[in-house]
Amino acid sequence: MKNFLLIAILAIYSSACLCQSAPKPYGPLPTKAQLNWQETEMYCIVHWGPDTYTNKEWGYGDEDPKLIDLKQFDALQIVSAAKAGGFKGIVVVAKHHDGFCLWPTKTTEHNITKSPYKNGKGDIVREYRQACDKLNMKMGIYCSPWDRNSAIYGKPEYVTNVFRKQITELYTNYGPLFITWFDGANGGDGYYGGAREMRTIDRSTYYDWPNTWAIARKLQPGAAIFGDVGPDVRWLGNEKGEAGETSWETYTPHSPDSTKLPANSFVKSDEGIEGHRDGKYWMPAECDVALRPGWFYHKSEDGKSKSPKELLNLYYKSVGRGACLDLGLSPDQNGRLPIDEVETLRKFGAILRNTFNTNIAQGATLKASNIRGGNAALYGPKMLLDNDRYSYWATDNKVKTPELIIDMHHNKSFNIIRLRENIKLGQRIDSVAIDAWRSGKWKQIATATSIGANKLIRLPQDENTSKVRLRIIKSAACIALSDFGLYKETID
């Protein structure tokens, strides 16, 4: 009898524990480097080099380093403008397709020491590092695989003796990076040490990506690797800065040889925009877009840069769709950002701060239709309001379509809704609907798909209500929602 009682007590106890244990992760999961990248949300990629002086976007590689006569370069001016815009990092284009290296590399003569800058003692990459450290900004590096200057581009030795040595220098000597950026472009023609000819390569095999990425993994384990198809962050397939309204964090790359790791340059742009539900890899999208029409500065494009409102639209279509926004900045021939662009960034940052500083749902009473194991302290909906991406409201394993009522007690006005999942447990939620309490009835005001790391819903007009209801319409597993926010977009 005694034994029977003991077994019964143990059985009740362990089933309660089971219900209160964390939900099982669903599908592919982000790595630490991917989580850090995701939290960065917005960063700027800075293009400056010989093209800035030749009015080109893709230099041939025959540009004379003497062109670069920088008198007022100030990395702090550029990095602080980005910071004022709310960006959290900078990707330095250390070498573009013209092969000119902005740091004193041992791999080629075609580098900053051959320019008049600081009498041949300059190191632009180091100056960015110092500015980033000073302003507490993250740093990433872009080193173009395509090199239109190198005489041996196209031969295997270029990859082993030049390109890989360059990234080794960059990943060893310039501190911790949050992203290593690999571009997929190859237009064929170039200077190539004077040969001036077409050199096409097989983009999926020439750089031997698994072994090239291994250098980044070893030297910069905290960095997410960006490439056309990852392996950590995927390209969308366009440079407009817009992810799909439905945008999954997971993706299955199309590789010529599906038995191998994802090969670069096999993104299908329409699929890059939306990703794949239940894709094989955790591979969220980066939305890259230039502030000006081109990536490099061209005088003829002065006054044509995007406005704060245009940046805001892009923000909702990138960060608001679970991707990151990578905005191109183009310092001019003095090495400075044009003053009107500094002002644009400041205004954009102010709109974001004013909008997202106050979660209007704070202080509301939250009533969930289900709480995992009934354990409100661990998995209750109050976790949605603590501004922590990884604490979460969870439901019992079988409950995939719960509801939540957010009672604010008084009428409040808002026009943005924010939802986030705890992505450490994967992307679980397919779709949701949101209702507002209007004249004694629930009225649906919004729907959204693919919640993931961040989902911002912009309502067509202000909503004035005291109660909001969130309905999870479809989820692949019990939910692990980390954030619910209501905001009022404030543009002066």
Q: In this chain, which of 295, 315, 437, 487 binds ligand FUL, going by CB under 6 A?
A: 295
Q: Is residue 228 part of the contact set for ligand FUL (CB under 6 A)?
A: no
97 vs 455, which CB is nearer to ligand FUL?
A: 97
156 vs 187, which CB is nearer to ligand FUL?
A: 187
Instruction: Spell 94-124 as b/e; 16+ CB within 10 A means b.
Output: bbbbbbbbbbbbebbebbbbbbebeeeebbb
Give me the phi and psi of 85, to 5 degrees please. Answer: -80, 0
Site string for ligand FUL, 408-447 (x = CB under 6 A): ----------------------------------------
Q: Is residue 183 part of the contact set for ligand FUL (CB under 6 A)?
A: yes
127 vs 183, which CB is nearer to ligand FUL?
A: 183
Query: Taking the complex as a whole, how short is the minimal distance between the CB of residue 235 and ligand FUL, in angstroms?
Result: 8
**Residue 215, both tokens:** 């250098």
Provide the 3-class DSSP secondary structure of residue 38.
helix
Q: Is residue 6 part of the contact set for ligand FUL (CB under 6 A)?
A: no
Q: List CB contacts of 88: < 8 A, sequence separation 6 or more.
A: 40, 41, 42, 43, 137, 138
Q: Is residue 147 part of the contact set for ligand FUL (CB under 6 A)?
A: no
Q: Is residue 178 part of the contact set for ligand FUL (CB under 6 A)?
A: no
Q: In this chain, which of 11, 185, 198, 491 binds ligand FUL, going by CB under 6 A?
A: 185
Q: Is residue 288 part of the contact set for ligand FUL (CB under 6 A)?
A: yes
Measure the CA dihedral 172/175/178/182, to 10°: -40
Q: Could you give the angle at which helices 75-84 and 124-135 cross, rounded to 10 degrees? A: 40
Task: Tell me the longest C-alpha to C-alpha distance in the chain.
Answer: 94
Q: List CB contacts of 146: < 8 A, sequence separation 6 or more.
A: 97, 153, 183, 185, 186, 187
End-to-end CA distance of the chain: 75
**Residue 479, both tokens:** 């939910």
Q: Which residue is nearest to ligand FUL (CB)?
A: 185
Site string for ligand FUL, 29-48 (x = CB under 6 A): ----------------x---
Query: Taking the complex as a whole, how short is the minimal distance between the CB of residue 288 and ligand FUL, in angstroms?
Result: 5
| Chain mean position to CA 342 | 22
Return d(Cα 463, Cα 151) in angstroms, integer. Answer: 62
Query: Taking the complex as a whole, how short is the minimal distance between the CB of residue 49 and ligand FUL, in angstroms?
Result: 10
Q: Is residue 73 part of the contact set for ligand FUL (CB under 6 A)?
A: no
288 vs 430, which CB is nearer to ligand FUL?
A: 288
Which residues of the shown chain bind ligand FUL in the complex (CB under 6 A)? Answer: 45, 57, 183, 185, 288, 295
